[in-house]
């Protein structure tokens, strides 16, 4: 009897060991990353007669980036993890992930389609607890936007007739850094606005790439809006400035351990090749005239959207106002962004914005835009970040840029009253303590002061008319000012002149731009 029991026990132990040993970890794929893994515990749980469940508990350490050889005082990051587990079907897997923020991360059974863990599967910070239904599963901090996807999208984007795709340099490991130049070449370029957008300086910031992909898809689309953008703008688009970091599954550095985001003021001897490539391309495209806008696309750990707006003390009051106008426009078009989410910092030469400021000052609005990984508006009960709402946000971003630079003169028409003769009982104001379009806005001297907006050659059609509500250029402002306020529905029966009149309701009333949005949208 004793021998029989010993044999059964040995069989159970052997069986358990085989089942446990079948769970394998790996990260040998595009954007894959894991530091170490260790089995902490294994337990058989009897759920019912003849029904037992194997529970396996692992401690996972996400991988730190290499030590920065240029500045060894910088602590390496280990935010990104993306690993594969095999042999998990039907087992309860408990993961305790160290070194990184684990707030409802993602899993996939095919390495392509990812979904967030449910709240009940991520009850504690750093933990994941789930019974998987398939044998292989991928676990990641966010839905990966890997190097292979970029190659596929660059091939797709580069095939458009109005796109020039070129290699502007190579990474430390020799991967190409590619730029798309997008414009309607049938229109003379001399009067077009110039917009530069780059992303993925920090490899872990995949949401920024999904957001930027949505913007590029729309810029290159066949919509009337996109066609007008291309008529009036030259876009310079660099989706990955750190391809080594993305492909290698790093968090905030290149393959060499250097955080290239803060490598812009280094001596040539220690400037990374990625930054040298970007500097060369920027110098080339600004040789004749500066950019109008540079967007540096990122993702932050805080659960909100933001721009990093440069203070007046480090730039000028006028430059601060221009940045706040872009930010306020984005708030206007997105429920995911609020005035209290705006962030402020001094412009610094180690960043691209500082490098641009030192060369072009107020002529170029250079600014960083951040998306979150988790949810929006610091509201855990609200919408969580997804590919779908990042693409929705890309529309908001494009409308904001369009309004800021007046890029669509056919379907989103700006009328600035200060560009016309100043009417009686109104005076111009150029103070920078308010957010407004152009170089000035109008202030009514008395109640009842009349103001007429006029443009020639408005195409016939149905338009929604909005009026910009001028508000204070402050770090936080009420949500009902610094916005487009809907005024009227306009029916333009034939091509020709358009007039719109307003009357001041009180002395000191502010009047700025109107926006006509054609119903074709």
Query: What is the rounded distance in angstroms from the CA atom of residue 310 to the CA atom of residue 323?
Result: 8
Mean pLDDT, each 10-residue run in order, the chain (521 residues)? 44 46 91 97 87 94 96 94 97 96 95 97 93 98 98 98 98 98 96 98 98 98 97 98 98 97 95 98 97 98 98 98 98 97 98 98 98 97 98 98 97 91 90 95 95 94 98 95 97 96 95 94 53
The predicted structure's pLDDT at residue 422: 79
User: 18-140 in CATH: which number?
Assistant: 2.60.40.3120
User: What does the block give as tokens for 246?
Assistant: 């993305």
The predicted structure's pLDDT at residue 14: 42
Does this model's pTM top 0.85? My answer is: yes
The predicted structure's pLDDT at residue 313: 97
Q: Angle CA(468)–CA(216)–CA(326) in degrees, nearest 5?
A: 25
The predicted structure's pLDDT at residue 141: 98
For β-strands 306-310 and 343-345, DSSP reports them as parallel
Helix (H) or strand (E) run with residue 243 in it: helix 243-247
The predicted structure's pLDDT at residue 82: 98
| Domains 18-140 and 147-405 in one fold | no
The predicted structure's pLDDT at residue 20: 53
Q: Please choose, from the candidates 142, 294, 251, 113, the residue with its C-alpha nearest in 3D space to the C-alpha of residue 207.
A: 142
SS (H, E, C) 89-142: CCCEEEEEEECCCCCCCEEECCCCCCEECCHHHCCCCCEEEEECCCCEEEEECC
| Domain 412-518 top-level CATH class | mainly beta
Any idea where the domains of the chain sit in the sequence?
18-140, 147-405, 412-518
The predicted structure's pLDDT at residue 521: 53
User: What does the block give as tokens for 116?
Assistant: 């967030």
Strand order through the sheet with 514-518: 412-415, 514-518, 461-468, 484-492
The predicted structure's pLDDT at residue 49: 80
Query: What is the rounded distance in angstroms from the CA atom of residue 388 to the CA atom of residue 393?
Result: 9
Paired with 235 in beta bridges are 182, 195
Q: Is 465 helix (H, G, I), strand (E, B) or coil?
A: strand
- Specify whether the CB–CB gap between 298 and 202 falls below 8 A: yes
User: 147-405 in CATH: which number?
Assistant: 3.40.630.10
Query: What is the rounded distance in angstroms from the CA atom of residue 489 to the CA atom of residue 312?
Result: 38
The predicted structure's pLDDT at residue 252: 98
């Amino acid at each position: 009897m004793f021998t029989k029991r010993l044999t059964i026990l040995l069989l159970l132990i052997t069986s358990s060991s085989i089942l446990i040993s079948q769970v394998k970890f790996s990260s040998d794929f595009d954007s894959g990353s894991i530091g170490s893994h260790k089995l902490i515990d294994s337990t058989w749980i009897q759920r019912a007669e003849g029904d037992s469940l194997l529970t396996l508990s692992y401690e996972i350490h996400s991988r730190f980036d290499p030590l920065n050889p240029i500045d060894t005082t910088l602590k390496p990051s280990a935010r990104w993890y993306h690993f594969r587990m095999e042999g998990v079907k039907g087992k309860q897997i408990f993961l305790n992930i160290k070194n990184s923020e684990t707030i409802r991360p993602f899993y996939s059974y095919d390495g392509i389609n990812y979904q967030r863990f449910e709240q009940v599967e991520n009850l504690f910070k750093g933990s994941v607890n789930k019974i998987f239904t398939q044998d292989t599963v991928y676990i990641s901090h966010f839905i990966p936007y890997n190097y292979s996807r970029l190659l596929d999208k660059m091939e797709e984007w580069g095939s458009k007739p109005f796109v020039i795709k070129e290699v502007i340099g190579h990474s430390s490991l020799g991967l190409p850094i590619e730029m798309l130049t997008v414009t309607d070449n049938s229109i003379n370029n001399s009067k077009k606005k110039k917009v530069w957008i780059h992303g993925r300086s920090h490899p872990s910031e995949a949401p920024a790439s999904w957001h930027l992909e949505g913007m590029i898809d729309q810029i290159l689309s066949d919509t009337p809006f996109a066609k007008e953008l291309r008529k009036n703008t030259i876009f310079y688009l660099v989706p990955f400035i750190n391809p080594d970091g993305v492909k290698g599954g790093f968090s905030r550095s290149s393959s060499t351990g250097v955080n290239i985001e803060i490598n812009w003021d280094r001596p040539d001897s220690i400037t990374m090749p990625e930054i040298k490539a970007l500097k060369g391309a920027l110098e080339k495209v600004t040789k004749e005239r500066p950019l109008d806008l540079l967007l540096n696309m990122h993702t932050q750990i805080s659960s909100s959207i933001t721009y990093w707006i440069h203070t007046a003390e480090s730039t000028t009051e006028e430059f601060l106002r221009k940045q706040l106008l872009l930010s306020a426009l984005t708030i206007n078009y997105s429920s995911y962004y609020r005035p209290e989410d705006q962030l402020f910092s001094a412009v610094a030469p180690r960043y691209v914005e500082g490098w641009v400021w030192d060369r072009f000052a107020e002529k170029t609005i250079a600014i960083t835009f951040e998306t979150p990984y988790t949810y929006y508006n610091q509201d855990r009960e609200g919408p969580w970040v997804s590919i779908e709402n990042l693409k929705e946000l890309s529309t908001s971003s494009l409308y904001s840029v369009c309004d800021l630079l007046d890029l669509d003169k056919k379907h989103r028409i700006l009328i600035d009253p200060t560009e016309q003769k100043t009417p009686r009982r109104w005076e111009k104001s150029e103070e920078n303590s308010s957010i407004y379009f152009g170089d000035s806005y109008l202030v009514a001297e008395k109640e009842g002061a009349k103001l007429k907006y006029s443009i020639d050659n408005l195409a016939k059609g149905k338009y929604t008319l909005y009026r910009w509500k001028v508000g204070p250029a402050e770090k936080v402002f009420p949500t009902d000012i610094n916005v487009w306020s809907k005024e009227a529905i306009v029916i333009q029966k034939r091509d020709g002149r358009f007039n719109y009149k307003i009357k001041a309701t009180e002395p000191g009333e502010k009047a700025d731009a109107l926006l006509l949005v054609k119903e074709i949208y």
